[in-house]
Amino acid sequence: MPVYEYVALDLRGRKKKGLLEAETLSHAQRKLRTQQVYPVKLREVKERKETHLISEIFKNWFSRVSLREITALTRQLSTLIGAGLPLVTSLDVLVSQTSENRLRKVLAQLKDSINEGNSLTHSLSQFPMIFNHFYVNMVKAGELSGALPLVLERLAEYLERQEILRSKIRSALAYPTLMFFIGFAVLFFLVSFVVPNITRIFQDTHQRLPVFSLMLISVSGFLEKYWWVLLAAFAGAIVFVQSYLRTNQGRRIWDEGKIKIPILGPVFEQIYLARFSRTLGTLLQSDVPLLQALEITRPVINNEVFSEIIRKAVTEVEEGRSLAEAISKNGRFPPLVLEMIAVGEQSGALEKMLFRTADALEREVEMKISVFTSLLEPVMILIMGFVVGFIVISILLPIFEMNQLVR
C-alpha cells in the first residue's frame, strides 16, 4: 500500500508533519480529516527503482532496521507512554523524530493500524522482519497486564544487553578479520599478477628449476589464467550454501556443526545458553507463564539443537517435572547452569537466577573471545610469513643458481 507524507494544520492552526498509509491520495485526505487535521501538503513517497542486481542487493542491505534503532525506538516509546501520552500520540512523536526512512514508514503504518482499532501487538506482528516473535509477545504481555511502559523498558534493557554483547564480539573480531582479508588480497595479487612476470625470466633461460619454484610457477600460472573461474566458483558456492541453509536439513547440520567446532564450539554454546537465560528471565519477569515463555524462547535462541532441547523440555514440564530436571537430560546444559536454575525454582526467584546465569555466561564469552583473538593474530602473522617466505625462496633459489652458472 502506498505511503504518503503530509504537512497539515490542526484545529488550533498548529503545523503537523508525518506519514500515513492509504490506498489513494483522496483516501489519505479523508484519513487526515478524520483525525481533525487538514492537509496543506500531501504527496506519495515513492521508492527509487533499482534495475541493477548489485544496486538492489546494496539497497536491501542498507535499508535494514538495525538492532540499535529498534532498541532506541523501544526506549523512547516506553518513556512517552510512561509520561501519560496516548499510544497514537507517542507513535506520532516518534514518526516526526525518526530520521531513518524505512523505520518512519513502519511507525506511520503502526499508527494507522492502531487508529483502525487494532492492538499494538497485532500491528507489530505485521512486520516480522523487524519485530520478532519475542518482541511481539513481550508487548502482548505488557498490554494484557496493563504495564506496557514497564514491559517496554525491560524489553529495551534486554535489547541493549544483546547489542552490547554483539558489539564486543564484533570489535574483538574486527582486527583479525581485516588482517585476513588484506593479507589474502595482497597474496592473491602477488601470486596472480606479480610472480608470473618474474618467473617468465626463469622459463626463458631453460634451466632446471627447484621444486619450490616449479610449484610457484604452476600455481601462479593457473591463477593468472583462471582467477575469474575461482571467483565465480567462490560466488556460486556462497549462493549454494545460503540456499541450502534455508532448508531444515541444512540449518540443522549448520547449527550442529557450529557447536562442534574445536575451540569455538564451546563459545557458541555459551552464547546460546546466555541468550536462553536472559530471554527466559525477561519473559518470566514480565509475568509470562513458564510454558509460554519457553515456547517464545525457542526461536529466539536461533539454533535448531537447543530449540529441540527446549521443545522436549516443554513436554516434560507439562508432565510435572521441574525445568532443571527437564533440560538436564540432553547434556548440553553445564552443571552450573542447571544448579542455578534448580535453586531459582526452589526459592521462587527463577528469573533472578536466570539473569545471574546470563551475566556469568556473557562475561565468560567475552573473556574467551578476547583470548582467542589474541592468539589468532600471531597465528595469522606466522601463516602469512610462511607463505611470503615460500614465495621469496621460490624466486631467489633460481637467481642464486643462475649466479653460480655465470661464475
pTM of the model: 0.69
β-pair partners for 9: 15, 38
> Both 220 and 355 in a single domain?
yes
Residue 351 grid coordinates:
528469573
Total count of domains within the chain: 2
Euclidean distance between CA atoms 251 and 269, whole angstroms: 16
| Per-residue pLDDT at 183 exceeds 60 | yes
Query: Is residue 344 in a domain?
Result: yes
C-alpha span between 82 and 77 (Å, rounded): 8
Specify the pLDDT at position 353: 93
Predicted local confidence at residue 403, as pLDDT? 63
Which residue type, as a one-letter code, is found at position 123?
Answer: S
Distance CA 8, CA 24 (A): 17
Is 320 inside any structural domain?
Answer: yes
Helices (H) and strands (E) in the chain, counts: 17, 3
Amino acid letter, 383: I
Residue-wise pLDDT tens digits, 352-404: 999 999 999 988 988 888 888 888 878 888 888 888 888 888 777 777 766 66
- Vertex 389: Cα angle to 386 and 393 (nearest 5): 140
Report the C-alpha gap between 165 and 150 in whole angstroms. 23
The three cell numbers of residue 47 are: 521508492
Burial of 169 (0-12, 13-18, 19+ CB in 10 A): middle
| CATH for 42 | 3.10.20
In the predicted model, what is the mean pLDDT of residues 137-150? 84
For residue 11 the three cell numbers come to 484545529
Q: Is the pLDDT of residue 201 over 80?
A: no
Mean pLDDT of the chain: 82
> CA 60 to CA 68: how far, in whole Å?
18
Q: Would 226 be classed as within a structural domain?
A: yes
**Any domain includes 3:** yes
Neighbours of 118 (CB within 10 A): 15
**Residues 300/133, Cβ–Cβ less than 8 Å:** yes
Determine the 3-state secondary structure of 207 from DSSP. coil
Q: Are 48 and 61 in contact (CB under 8 A)?
A: no
Nearest-angstrom CA–CA distance, 345 and 349? 6
Residue 58 has pLDDT above 60, yes or no: no
Q: Hey, what's the cell of 186?
A: 595482497
Position 341 confidence tier, pLDDT thresholds 50, 70, 90: very high
Instruction: Establish if 128 belongs to a structural domain.
Output: no
Contact 366, 168 (CB under 8 A): yes
Element (H, E) at 85: none
Question: What's the rounded Cα separation, in Å, for the pair 399 and 280?
Answer: 67
| Predicted pLDDT of residue 1 | 59
Residue 119 belongs to some domain of the structure: no
d(CA 379, CA 46): 51
* Sign for the pseudo-dihedral over CA of 311, 317, 323, 324: negative
- What is the band of 55 on the pLDDT scale with cuts at 50, 70, 90? very low
Residues 239-281 have pLDDT tens digits of 998 888 888 888 889 889 988 888 888 889 999 999 899 989 9
Q: What pLDDT does 63 receive?
A: 47
Confidence of residue 116 (pLDDT cuts 50, 70, 90): confident
Question: pLDDT value at position 62?
Answer: 44
Based on the fold, state whether residues 181 and 38 are members of the same structural domain: no
Q: Cα separation of 332 and 305, whole Å?
A: 9
The reply to whether 114 falls in a domain is no
Within-domain flag for 237: yes
% the chain with pLDDT above 90: 12
Note the pLDDT of residue 47.
47
- pLDDT at res. 115: 85
Residue 196, pLDDT > 90, answer no
Domain span at residue 14 reads: 1-46
pLDDT score at 343: 93
In 3-state terms, what secondary structure has residue 118?
coil
Most confident of 48-62, 196-210, 345-359: 345-359
CATH number at residue 260: 1.20.81.30
Residue 85 class from Cβ within 10 Å (0-12 exposed, 13-18 middle, 19+ buried)?
middle
8 Å CB contact between 397 and 213: yes
Question: Which pLDDT score, from 0 to 100, does residue 61 have?
Answer: 43
3-state SS string for 228-292: HHHHHHHHHHHHHHHHHHCCHHHHHHHHHHHCCCCCHHHHHHHHHHHHHHHHHHHHHHCCCCHHH
What span, in angstroms and rounded, lies between the C-alpha atoms of 109 and 103?
10
pLDDT of residue 203: 64
Question: Residue 404's pLDDT is what?
Answer: 63
Per DSSP, the three-state class of 329 is coil
